[in-house]
Structure 1
Amino acid sequence: MEGPRLPPSATAPESDDDKPDDPPSVWHRPTSSLPSLPSQDPPSHHWRNNSLNLSPLPTTTLSSLPPPDTIPELETYVVRVPRDQVYWTPPPEHAKYVEKRRKNPEKNKKKGCSKRLMWFFIILVVFGFILGAITIILHFAFNPTLPIFAVERLTAKSSNFEVMLRAENPTSNMGVRYVMKKDGVVSLTYKNKRLGSGKFPGLSQAAFGSDKVNVKLDGSTKNAAVQPRGSKQPLVMILTMELKAEYEAGPVKRNKDVAVTCDVKVKGLLDGKKVEIVSENCESEFKN
């Protein structure tokens, strides 16, 4: 706002040349020219500084009022907040929870350890369950079947016997390899008397494989001379084998102990002629 107007001067303004060297003084309005205002209480303080005084004023003329104070300009600020940003104050129960954790650090540490142990136990149980399920599936998917043996020929010589066997692997998805057990033996007996004994040679078979194997037994027929020569009664002999079967299908392996017992009836064993096999029956059994 503009200041009070200067009183008109009777003389014309001085030119620049007539001005003295001293700086011009500030003009002051004489207080004697203002009319005296009626006494009044100061206006009550308003909550907003530098604002207009809205208190009632006595009815005076505008010319007798002092010039009003200048109103300061109000500054305006624009604050931009992203729409996806939310400002919120945590509820008081969160502060209580944090305070409890600060007061009981040992208790919180124990709770953390118990939670870790619980999760470790849960993971261990889940892992055991998965491992058990895989084991059961592999057991039923790769389950070895008992091998099948049959005696096809038997030859008696002066110091040994030769037995021709046929071995079959009925397992559809696993190959097998037959070896002798550490203390195993193949023996041929007649009336609980051993005629010969020996070792089973190694044999490998594929799934559904069928192969022949020749087994040599050291011994003689002297212990079988209990029947007169020329007798037409067949001799009943028993062939026993203790084998170890190693089944395999990729990474899956199974080891089984197999006991084989064959009942063989033959003719012509004591006459030194060609031995005739009247009947034979072999049975296999897993020992584990």
Structure 2
Amino acid sequence: MADRVHPMQSPPHPASPLPPPDQEDAAAAAAAATETTPLHPTFYGPPAPPPGTYIVQIPKDQVLRVPPSDRASRYKSLAERPVRRRRLRRACFGAFGAVLFLALAAAVFVGAVYLVFRPRAPAFSVASLSIRGLDVVAPSLSPELEVALRADNGANRKVGVDYRGAGEVAVTYSGARLAAGQWPAFHQAPRNVTVLSTTLRGTGVSFSDEQRKQLAAEQAARAVPLTVEARVPVRLRFGKVLRTWTVDVKATCQVTVDRLAGEAAAANRGCRVKVRPFLWWWW
């Protein structure tokens, strides 16, 4: 006897799966909510401002490019500040460069003058010394001295010396000034030796007891030390055109005399020359 075959239901196609029961319920609930629930107020546009409030809208190009009128001057000053700083920096560098250039040019010029003329300080010495009115016993003295000074410019072949007026020559003993006088003004040519005489006078000169004893002992030994100081303003002359500024020359000579009355024999113990302000080749 043959078996009966019953037909079976075919399985669903894999390309179109059926939604599960839970998802179908959720979709139906969402559709029902959309139909009945009103939209959120934000979907209709921005909320209305409260009463008394104003909203001003300014174009974007005006906000970025056109500053307010009260800030225009500040904006201009801030915009020009880098330019001013660059100009100031350039001016400072230019001034510094000009000063440096002038200093280098002056140094080169002075060096060239020194190499060409080779200036040297003149030498000084005391040629003779005559003393009157220097009595050790008297309480107050008014001595008078005749001093002959020898200025030797033989070391300079191309440099002359102009001795200006208002110079001074003084003679001291143990720190006490005996007499003083003026240095005469004259011009000394290169390779020239000049002997000049000047009269020195002093008033109200007094010595202490210790100085009197020391002076009497040195006079008895025929060796009285004196100091002759000369301070005179001079100018150097290079050739016929070029001259230096006026400087003060100080010459200090140590001498020893054999007597304090009449024509004394002066023995030079050396002279020292200083120049102020600074002339480096004269020190």
Q: Give, in angstroms, the shift of residue 251 of structure 1.
A: 2.6
The structure whose residues are more often helix, as a share, is: 2
Deviations 1:146-169 (A, max 9, x none): 110111100012341001111011
Runs of 4+ in 1 over 6 A off after TM superposition: 123-127
Q: What does 1:6-85 correspond to in 2, within 5 Å?
A: none
Is 1:171 the counterpart of 2:156? The answer is yes
1:195-248 Cα offsets, whole Å, 9 max, x none, are 111111112110111111002100278657541697124110101111112111
The percent of aligned pairs where both chains have the same amino acid is: 22
1:72-151 alignment to 2 at 5 Å? 128=102, 133-151=108-126
1:217 aligns with 2:208: no
* Secondary structure, counterpart of 1:199 in structure 2: strand
**Paired amino acid for 1:218:** R
Structure 2 SS opposite 1:185: strand
Supply the distance in 2 between the matched residues of 1:195 and 1:204 (Cα, whole angstroms). Answer: 29
**Cα distance change on mapping 1:133 and 1:273 into 2, 3 Å:** closer
Match of residue 105 from structure 1: none
- Distance (Å, rounded) in 1 between the aligned partners of 2:157 and 2:234: 15
Give, in whole Å, the separation in 2 of the partners of 1:196 and 1:188. 6
Cα RMSD between the aligned structures?
A: 3.5
Whether the aligned pair in 2 keeps the contact of 1:242 and 1:258 (CA below 8 Å) is yes
Quote the offset at 1:130 in angstroms. 5.6
The alpha-carbon distance between structure 1 residues 214 and 273, as it changes in their structure 2 partners (threshold 3 A), is: closer
Partner of 1:262: 253
Give 1:133 deviation, angstroms.
3.2
> Separation in 2 of the partners of 1:132 and 1:148?
27
Compared with structure 1, are the counterparts of its residues 222 and 233 closer, same or farther at alpha carbon in structure 2 (3 Å cutoff)?
farther
Check 1:160–1:230 CA distance in 2 against 1; reply closer, same or farther (3 A cut). closer
Judging changes above 3 Å, is the alpha-carbon distance between structure 1 residues 161 and 137 closer, same or farther for their aligned structure 2 residues?
A: same
User: Quick one: distance in 2 between partners of 1:229 and 1:133?
Assistant: 54
In the alignment, residue 225 of structure 2 is paired with which amino acid? V
Instruction: Output the CA distance in 2 between the equivalents of 1:125 and 1:202.
Output: 37
Q: Aligned match of 1:232 in 212, 215, 221?
A: 221
- 1:276 is aligned to 265
Task: Using the TM superposition, give the Cα deviation of residue 188 of structure 1 relative to its aligned residue in structure 2, in angstroms.
Answer: 0.5
Q: 1:86-137 CA deviation, whole Å, 9 max, x = no partner?
A: xxxxxxxxxxxxxxxxxxxxxxxx9xxx9xx9xxx7x969975666533431
> Would you say 1:252 and 2:242 are equivalent positions?
yes
Distance in 1, matches of 2:233 and 2:100, equals 36
In 2: Cα distance, 1:228 partner to 1:172 partner: 46
SS in 2 for 1:268: coil
> Contact 1:180 / 1:200 at 8 angstroms: preserved in 2?
yes
Q: Are 2:178 and 1:195 equivalent residues in the alignment?
A: yes
The offset of 1:186, in angstroms, is 1.7
Structure 2, unaligned runs of 5 or more: 1-82, 134-142, 278-283
Residue 187 of structure 2 is aligned to residue 204 of structure 1: yes
Confirm or deny: 8 A CA contact 1:266 1:279 kept in the other structure: no
Using a 3 Å threshold, how does the CA distance of structure 1 residues 157 and 136 change in structure 2: closer, same or farther?
same
Distance in 2 (CA, whole Å) between partners of 1:152 and 1:137 is 36
**How many aligned residue pairs are there?**
169
